[in-house]
Amino acid sequence: MIVITGAAGFIGSVVTAELNQKGYNDLILVDDFSKKEKERNYIDLKYKTLVDRNVFFDWFKENHEEVDFVVHLGARTDTTEFDWDVFQKLNVDYTETMFSLCAEYQIPLVYASSAATYGNGELGYDDSHDIVEKLQPLNPYGRSKNEVDKWILKHVETQNAASEPPFWAGLKFFNVYGPNEYHKGRMASVIFHSFNQINATGKVKLFRSHRPDFKDGQQLRDFIYVKDIASVICFMIERHRDTETPRRQVKSGLYNLGTGKARSFYDLAANTFKAMGKEVNIEFIDIPEDIRDKYQYFTEANMTKLREAGYDKEFTSLEDGVADYVKNYLMRN
């Protein structure tokens, strides 16, 4: 069995669907299933059972012998949340407990880290373990993800091999977009908001730049299509489940998960207009003051480590990803 936490959410539901497509139906989906607005993310998926996140560890202790992989994607992801206690409970404590149990039961683990750990990017966007202690995230969300990364690296450095899972990977997601994010509100992608703005007003509002070295709309991010996230996670699962084919296994560690190519928010919005068959009409507005000093102007993943680990599929281009998302999901509601 494969466990997927956050399975009712954006990335978790797409990963579950990808596993279904590959023939994996013996899945345990973990989340807060009381949130009915997310029900359509998983109602058509194939799985063995649903487990509430608050009782999952009890379930895990009783059923761990049947589990052969854990994909931990559940987290509080709101970058505008500033109550540290929320992140300590849902992101830090929960993930550290998950790691410890996977180590105890010797079950491979993939968990969600974030490019938010890189802060302003003063140290670059290299997934080297050497810089983790020096990173300065810009918000509590990024800090929570970096605290987990630091704890795990310190743990595996000071303990023996038996005190860690047989394989673990912390995936530093960059700017993810795609289907099943409708419930995320303010935290949904610019494409999602652009699509709704175009339908409502015929134009898109983008943040203007508050730095002289960036023009309005030319802030750059590494945008990655959620289906590529699912592909990479399935790649890691299959590498560690396939005991018959003599292939190089992926080494444990932190891995960037972007495309390796930064693109502008203007490009993102313009491609949304194109996919909808409409003329580009963009207006610039100030970045809200509550996030202005925590706003990243540039992110671009160094993807060397994942490529060297054997993942050789091309990442979806921004043009193709936006077209698929808009035409095959947003326009079909």
Residue whose token pair is 């030319």: 218
Phi, psi of 85, rounded to the nearest 5 degrees: -60, -35
Residue 109 three-state SS:
strand
DSSP annotation of 263 reads: E
Positive or negative: CA dihedral 289, 293, 295, 298: positive
Hey, what's the torsion of the CAs at 193, 232, 143, 209, to 10 degrees? Answer: -40
The distance of Cα 279 from the centroid of its chain, to the nearest Å, equals: 31
Quote the CA–CA distance of 36 and 101 in Å, as a whole number: 29
Cβ–Cβ < 8 Å for 128, 170: no
Alpha-carbon 130 to chain mean position: 22
Residue positions annotated with a catalytic role: 141, 184
